[in-house]
Every structure is written in structure tokens, then in C-alpha cells.
Structure 1
Amino acid sequence: MQQSTYTSPLDKLNDEALLEQFRQGNTLAFEELYKRFWGVLYLQAYHILIHEEDAQDIVQEVFTALWTKAANINLSGSLAAYLYATTRNRVLNMLASKRTYRHHLSSLKQSLSDIDNNSLQYITEKEITARMEREIRALPAKMREVFELSRKTALTHREIAHQLQLSQETVKKQISNAIRTLRHKMAHFSFFC
């Protein structure tokens, strides 16, 4: 049984002649170029990208560009050299694009992380400060007055005692009690935060 091997007259044409045939409207010439070059261009792209779908996409883009721009292609060498160079350039562009994307993604993640951490720190500091102010306001009146004078002014214990007409010992004791009370209250608050 003899096997039928039909050969198209286009099989005998060189690459540049096929391109010229395609430029003149012969879509079969394009199909012949596709059959000749798809495999080798795919291997070239895959060898660099090591990713089947990306390599297929690149080759598809090369042939799409050939289809749409065939009339404007001026070959300084062979069509094969042109297709190889086009494939290589598209591969390099894809790699650069992915590298840039990863760089931007990494920068964005870092920025968001910094913003989140700074915001969290700001919110936490703000919450702690607000809670501390509430706890100070909740202290008994005389204790609060002594504590606030000791923390918010540059007065010494002696000056506070003189201003409030208290003994220095009473001022020390009030400040010590206020600190102990606030430390206890804030420990509970930080535990729940």
C-alpha cells in the first residue's frame, strides 16, 4: 500500500518567497511559514522562559505580528533571522516585564506593610494615650492633681507640696499610689489589646 504524500508547490519556495507570496494575499504561504517556524521558535522561547504557555504566547504574538505587519517588514537578512530576533526580543520584554512587575509588587507589599505597621503603631499609641488619660481622670481628685503636677509640669515634690499645702511625704505617697494604680489598670488594658 503506497502512502500518499501530497506536497504543495509552496513547499519548494524559500522563506523570503513565501513571505512575498503572503504579502500578495496568499494565506497558504503564511500557513507554510507557520509550519516551518512554529516549532523552532517555540523551542527558542521555551529554552529561555522554561514555561510552556508563555513560550506559546510569545510565538503566537510573533506570528500575529507577521500576519498584521508583513507588508511593512523590510528584511536586511533572512526571514528566519528576523523571526528569531523578534522572538528573542519578545522573550526579553516578557522577562523584563515580569521582573518589573515582581519588583513593583514587592515594593507595594513593603509599602503596605510599612503603612499597616505605622498605622497600627499610631493607633495603638493613640489608644494607649487615650486610655491613660481616662485612667488619670478616674483617679481620686487630690491624687490626680498631685500626679498631673508631677508629670505635666517641671515642679519638684517640694514645690508641689508648697503649692497644694501638703507635706512632701504626702506628695510622694500620692504619686506612688497613682503610679501603682495606673500600672495595674494599664496592664489589664494591654493584656486585652
Structure 2
Amino acid sequence: MRTDLIDSELAVLLAQSSERAFREIYERNWKLCFLSARKRLNNEAEAEEIVQDIFCKLWRRRTSFTLTRSFENYFAVAVKFEVINQLARRSRRESYERQAASAYVDADSSMQETIDLQDLKTQLQASINRLPDKCRAVFRLRYEKNYSQLQIAETLHISEKTVEAHLSKARKTLKANFGAALGMLICFF
């Protein structure tokens, strides 16, 4: 494949499911996307994850994708919106962690004396072990190995939507058992 193709030619080939065209688009644009995301997020791992998500979404939408200007413009906008979404998720997570820590600190002092962190961790492990096999595997990869949803999907040969569903089910089940303390416990997990 020629590497001197212009963006519109690459977009046409991409719509025809050309992996070579996708690879060329990726190689031309990945670094700039990553640098832009890293600058805005100040976090390499988050930046890498959102850039990978952007390219995965592009591949999934390839047959219906229409390039209006250039890939540089497309990726600049995509990075901007993904960064905004990531910052919102980060803010929600930090808020939840503050609430969980506050709930834990505000708990009755006699209860704090009787329940120590190791007991909670043991209870958490037992609850995790009671999750269905796939759900437990997804949860462990996410929180023990710190895999992204894409990495989990690839490792377990399932879709990202299935990964999301398993994580949601695991959090819902564990939250029913641990309430506001779950966020703090997962940090220690």
C-alpha cells in the first residue's frame, strides 16, 4: 500500500475495512493524539487508554465513518471530547472516594475499633470469590492487574460492552455488601 495516500483516500479504504489503511492512519496520528491527551490529563496511562479507545471506536465505525475535513481535525476533536469525559470520570471517582472516606471516618468510633481493614479486605475477597466466574475474572483484571477495558476484552476474548456489563454487575453486587466503604476498599484491593 502506498504511504503517500491523502486522508480522503485513506478514509475510503478504511470504509472498505482495509486493515492496512487503518494501520497507516494509526501510525500517522497516534503520537500526536497521545501527546495532546497526556498534556491535558497529565497522566500517561489515562492518555494511552483514551487514545486506544478512540482508535478502537474508529475501527468499529469504519464502515459508516465519513471524514469531513482531515484525520488531524477528526482526532483533535475526538481527543478533546475523550479528555473531557475522562476528567469527568476522574472527578466522579475522586468525589466518590472522598464520600467513602468521609463515611468511614464519620462511622461510630466503637465500630471502627471492632472492624479493622484486614477484616474488610477478607470480607471483600470472599464477596469477590462469590461473583460468577467471568464477572470475577473481569473484576480481578481491572482492579488487581489495572487492565483497561480494552485489554480485558482482548485477554478474555469478549466485547468491551460485555466487560462493562461484568464490571457494573460486580460493583453493584459489592456495593450492596459494603455500601459507601466500597470505593475505599477497592483502593486497597
CA contact (8 A) 2:33 2:76 kept: yes
Aligned residue in 1 for 2:31: 39
* AA of the residue aligned to 2:60: T
Question: How many Å apart are 1:85 and its aligned residue?
Answer: 0.8
Aligned residue in 2 for 1:59: 51
Structure 2 counterpart of 1:96, from 88, 96, 103: 88
Aligned residue in 1 for 2:99: 107
Aligned residue in 2 for 1:18: 10
* AA of the residue aligned to 1:77: R
* AA of the residue aligned to 1:31: R
| Counterpart secondary structure, 1:61 | helix
* AA of the residue aligned to 2:99: S
* AA of the residue aligned to 2:84: L
Report how many residues are paired: 113
State the distance in 2 between where 1:118 and 1:77 align: 64
Per-residue CA distance 1:164-185 (angstroms, 9 max, x = gap): xxxxxxxxxxxxxxxxxxxxxx
Question: How many Å apart are 1:45 and its aligned residue?
Answer: 0.4
* AA of the residue aligned to 2:17: G
Aligned residue in 1 for 2:75: 83
Task: Give the TM-score taking structure 1 as reference length.
Answer: 0.53
- Superposition RMSD in Å: 2.0
Task: Give the TM-score taking structure 2 as reference length.
Answer: 0.54
* AA of the residue aligned to 2:86: M
Q: Which structure's relative contact order is higher, taking Cα pairs within 8 Å and 6+ residues apart?
A: 2
Aligned residue in 2 for 1:73: 65
Aligned residue in 2 for 1:179: none
State the distance in 2 between where 1:118 and 1:71 align: 61
Unaligned runs of 5+ in 2: 113-189
| Counterpart secondary structure, 1:106 | helix
* AA of the residue aligned to 2:59: W
Per-residue CA distance 1:76-124 (angstroms, 9 max, x = gap): 432321111111111111111011111111012112222234867xxxx
Unaligned runs of 5+ in 1: 1-7, 121-193
- Identity percentage over the alignment? 27
State the distance in 1 between where 2:65 and 2:13 align: 14
Per-residue CA distance 1:37-85 (angstroms, 9 max, x = gap): 0010011001111221111111111111111112223344323211111
State the distance in 2 between where 1:53 and 1:16 align: 31
* AA of the residue aligned to 2:106: D
CA contact (8 A) 2:15 2:64 kept: no
| Counterpart secondary structure, 2:69 | coil
CA contact (8 A) 2:26 2:55 kept: yes
